[in-house]
Amino acid sequence: MSKHRFMANVSAVLSALITVDPATQKANPQGIDDVLLQQRKDFLRPSSLLAIVGLSDENDCSIKEYGQFYFAAQQRDPSNPNKNFHLPRARSECATNPNDKCCRSCGQDQSGCPADPNCAGSLDAKTDDVNLRCFDQKRRFGIDFLYPTDRYVTALTQPLVPNRTGELVPNPIFSDLDPSDHDSMVRDPSLVFLTYIVGVPWQDIARQGADGEQAGQRLVLRRRHDHASRRRRRGRRELSGHGEADDALRRRRRAGEQCGGVHLL
């Protein structure tokens, strides 16, 4: 996540450049982003309340920036920029048990596992939408391209975080990054808040009915029909001159008033 890179990545892993080895197609983070480190120092006043607010309507995730994990974001075929890129299929074991030792991508080394007919060809646009690659990755692709969530829990709650070599070092969020100023009180974890405003397009979760229409489409059409019906009824009342009388009668019914000796509910 970008928030982790800006606020909690320690200098040892804050890479300024990521290169890809053409022979292995593996990414290699290099250098230190001194500009971002200075921006972090200027921004993170140590005693302040830190509120992190994310706003997204997309299937969003944080891909590991080393090795071949960047393929989770690959949109074009590296060998043909005019062709869309789709990930290789996952082995059959992934569909029933993603923790199986043979659950892996068909594009990986298959040593120690039986031949799998499911490995013929790659996924397509229907089974591998580039905008929907962030969920259930191990089952769908045989690879988990993401950092574990405890990476971010640790970054937002703990005074120490691991660097690239696994060594625990001070967490910038809970450190005084500028000892020369007059603010030396380091924030407590209770002063760190994380919230997201997110939404899922109804097309991604709608169920398809027997008539072939998605449930979301039927709901939208039904609401449009109901709205149009109300407008037509309102128009007929206004033309007949009974609109105001009908509205008054409806209000009395709601209020449970007596009308003509009959209690209207």
Q: Is there a contact between 207 and 214 (Cβ–Cβ < 8 Å)?
A: yes
Question: Burial of 94 by CB count in 10 Å (0-12 exposed, 13-18 middle, 19+ buried)?
Answer: buried
pTM of whole model > 0.75?
Answer: no
String of b and e for 180-189 (b: at least 16 CB within 10 Å)?
Answer: eeeeeebbee
The 10s digit of each residue's pLDDT in 215-232 is 555 555 566 666 666 666
Q: How many angstroms from the chain centroid is the CA of residue 152? A: 14
Distance CA 134, CA 123 (A): 15
DSSP the chain: -HHHHHHT--TTT--SEEEEETTTTEEEEES--HHHHHHHHHH--TTS-EEEEEEESS----B-SSBTGGGGG--EETTEEEEE--PBPBPTHHHH-TTSTT--BTTS--TTS---GGGSSB--TTT--GGG-SSSHHHHHSS--B--THHHHHHHH-SEEE-TTS-EEE-GGGS-S-TTSS--PPPPGGGEEEEEEE---GGGTPPB-TTS-BHHHHHHHHHHHHHHHHHHHHHHHHHHT-HHHHHHHHHHHHHT-EETTEE--
Residue 205 has pLDDT above 80, yes or no: no
| Structure confidence by residue, pLDDT tens digits, 38-72 | 888 899 899 999 999 988 877 778 888 888 998 99
Give the distance, in angstroms, between the CA of residue 219 and the centroid of all CA atoms in the same chain.
25
Summarize pLDDT for 229-252 with one digit per residue, the tens: 666 666 665 555 555 556 665 665
Residues 215 and 208: beta-carbon distance below 8 Å:
yes
Cα separation, 56 vs 199, in Å, equals: 7
Q: What percent of the chain has pLDDT over 70?
A: 69
Terminal Cα distance for the chain, rounded: 56
For the segment 24-33, what is each residue's pLDDT rounded down to a tens digit? 888 888 888 8
Task: Read off the pLDDT of residues 82-95 as tens digits, 9 standing for 90 and up.
Answer: 999 999 999 999 99
Q: How far is CA 148 from CA 30, 61, 72, 163, 168, in A?
A: 22, 11, 15, 15, 17
